[in-house]
């Protein structure tokens, strides 16, 4: 048995929030969008089932129709976000395209995407 470790030619992609990714699921099609959420590394607790790690990919956003809560309060959220769940075991199928600057870091309109 050799006494060396085979290193990969590239590092596996570790998606981050605000990355734009393309997910090629083979015969199930291709989806793309912004990484909206990334779960923390799960902590194993004896006697409890392990929780899989995942990200959500925001595939579309559209305005929410004007409506009121039954209590009469106006709606707080203005948009409907469509999210796709991608478990860590499928991250190898993701292709990184680019990252965007979080809104909190934008100081001038010229830094915006559009």
> pLDDT for 23-73, tens place per residue?
999 899 999 999 999 999 888 889 988 889 999 999 999 988 877 666 777
pLDDT number for residue 91: 93
What is the pLDDT of the chain when averaged over all its residues?
A: 82
- What are the sequence ranges of the domains in the chain? 20-102
Task: Kindly state the tokens that stand for 68.
Answer: 């009121």
For residue 112, how far is the Cα from the chain centroid?
Answer: 20
Q: Which has the closest alpha carbon to 90: 23, 17, 30, 36?
A: 23
Q: What are phi and psi of 28, to 5 degrees?
A: -95, 0
pTM of the entire predicted model? 0.73
In this prediction, residue 9 carries a pLDDT of 64
């Amino acid at each position: 048995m050799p006494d060396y470790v085979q290193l990969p030619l590239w590092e596996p992609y570790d998606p981050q929030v605000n990355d734009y990714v393309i997910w090629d699921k083979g015969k199930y099609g291709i989806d793309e969008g912004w990484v909206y959420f990334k779960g923390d590394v799960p902590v194993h607790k004896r006697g409890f089932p392990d929780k899989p790690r995942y990200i959500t990919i925001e595939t579309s956003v559209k305005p929410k129709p004007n409506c009121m809560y039954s209590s009469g309060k106006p709606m707080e959220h203005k948009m409907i976000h469509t999210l796709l769940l991608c478990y860590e075991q499928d991250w190898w199928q993701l292709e990184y395209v680019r990252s965007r600057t979080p809104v909190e870091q934008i100081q001038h309109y010229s830094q915006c995407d559009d």
